[in-house]
Amino acid sequence: MAAERIDGKAFAARLRDRVGAQATEFARAAGRKPGLAVVLVGEDPASQVYVRSKGKATLEAQMNGFEHRLDAAVGQDELLALVETLNGDPAVDGILVQLPLPSHIDEQAVIAAIHPDKDVDGFHVINAGRLAVGQPGFVPCTPLGCMMLLTDRLGDLSGLEAVVIGRSNIVGKPMAQLLLDANATVTIAHSRTKDLPDVVRRADIVVAAVGRPEMVKADWLKPGATVVDVGINRLPPVEGESRGRLVGDVDYGAASEVAGAITPVPGGVGPMTIAVLLRNTLVAAYRNQGLELPEGAL
Ligand code: NDP
């Protein structure tokens, strides 16, 4: 039987609607809109696309977007000075510095400069630490979005076997932490994992965050497993195509015959990332303003 297609795009649209409605409530109470500052350094085409879509989504969610574009040759000190200005700006609730940064800039130093209460990407070590010890803080948008899709489909994850493939700071590790907090039994796999197909085969939940096109095969999956595909990979164009197709880290077509449910690429995890960024910005706005976000509003 074919797997259920987990429609991240529709879920994200509903979340964005709720965030927009609550942002309007916030503006009424605070006398200002929530604000998200996005900093883009250089001309990386993919980053430009992301920044443009974040800007548009911010406005649609009844928030202010502040875009700062800096030359690729900008010095680290100048970038840090901008972050400092944004930290002190009461109109800015969230600060996002689009990664990757040019190689002459120390990414970790820039992330560390963002005030943890405005770190809506959840990359600051303070927020990573809060997640690790179970304190409230900002959780990276992509894994939090994956978690929302998983709990929406499965409800209680207690005791389920989860395998996360990938151990990056922005996806794999926080994903594993969230699953652990939800009482799943978690394995983190990576490039040195032995017998990866066997490891994946025991999972009720598979999260693939690798960056290798269609690496996870149908016969790696336990029948009925729930599969969340974070990967975004562009294949080389075949004849007649100007650009290659976008695929995930999972061989979607074949995997759909075995899995119980699966996220497509595109239209799965990708749209959740921006929706959760808006959610995190709204949460930051309430905190920064000293207001209480009503229970269950999002
Ligand atoms: P990274 O490159 O930082 O991490 C990739 C991870 O995959 C590493 O931990 C690496 O292991 C592991 N890995 C690589 N090759 C293998 C292999 N053959 N077998 C098992 N594990 C392997 O990537 P990110 O976490 O940043 O992103 C992962 C994917 O998700 C990418 O395709 C990216 O484009 C996508 N992405 C999508 C987002 C969205 O919004 N949907 C947001 C963020 C990322 P090791 O640590 O041992 O090197």
Domain-wise residue ranges, the chain: 30-118, 141-270
Pick from 271, 220, 274: which is nearest to 250 by CA? 220
Whether residue 14 has its Cβ less than 6 Å from ligand 1: no
Which range, of 23-37, 39-53, 207-221, averages the lowest pLDDT?
39-53
pLDDT, residue 287, reads 97
The catalytic position among 22, 62, 93, 98 is 98
CB distance 187 to 199 below 8 Å:
yes
- Domains 30-118 and 141-270 alike in fold: yes
- Cβ contacts of residue 279 below 8 Å, gap of 6+? 15, 19, 298
Query: Degrees (nearest 5) of the Cα angle 165, 258, 225?
Result: 50
Q: Would the pLDDT of 54 be above 90?
A: yes
pLDDT digits (tens, 9 = 90+) for 130-140: 999 999 999 99
Is the pTM higher than 0.75? The answer reads yes
CB distance 256 to 236 below 8 Å:
no
pLDDT, residue 1, reads 74
CB distance 255 to 216 below 8 Å:
yes
The encoded tokens of residue 277 equal 């960024």
Distance 234 CA to ligand 1 centre (A): 14
The third-level CATH classification (topology) of the domain covering 30-118 is Rossmann fold (3.40.50)
pLDDT digits (tens, 9 = 90+) for 156-186: 999 999 999 999 999 999 999 999 999 999 9
Percent of the chain with pLDDT over 70: 100
Q: Would the pLDDT of 42 be above 90?
A: yes
CB distance 215 to 234 below 8 Å:
no
Q: Would the pLDDT of 9 be above 90?
A: yes
Q: Which atom of ligand 1 is nearest to the CA of 165?
A: 21
- Cβ contacts of residue 296 below 8 Å, gap of 6+? none
By 3-state DSSP, what share of the chain in percent is helix, strand and coil, each rounded to 5? 45, 15, 40
Q: Which atom of ligand 1 is nearest to the CA of 171?
A: 25
Q: Would the pLDDT of 280 be above 80?
A: yes
Whether residue 122 has its Cβ less than 6 Å from ligand 1: no
The third-level CATH classification (topology) of the domain covering 141-270 is Rossmann fold (3.40.50)
Cross-strand pairs, 163:
187, 206
Is 54 an annotated catalytic residue?
yes
Q: How confident is the model at residue 236 (pLDDT cuts 50, 70, 90)?
A: very high
Q: Would the pLDDT of 198 be above 80?
A: yes
The predicted model gives 132-156 an average pLDDT of: 98
pLDDT, residue 259, reads 98
The encoded tokens of residue 91 equal 């109109």
CA-closest residue to ligand 1 atom 4? 168
The encoded tokens of residue 113 equal 């400069």
The predicted model gives 42-46 an average pLDDT of: 92
Which backbone phi and psi does 228 adopt, to 5 degrees?
-115, 120
Is 121 an annotated catalytic residue?
yes
Whether residue 209 has its Cβ less than 6 Å from ligand 1: yes
> For all residues of the chain together, what is the average pLDDT?
97
CB distance 218 to 250 below 8 Å:
no
Distance 212 CA to ligand 1 centre (A): 8
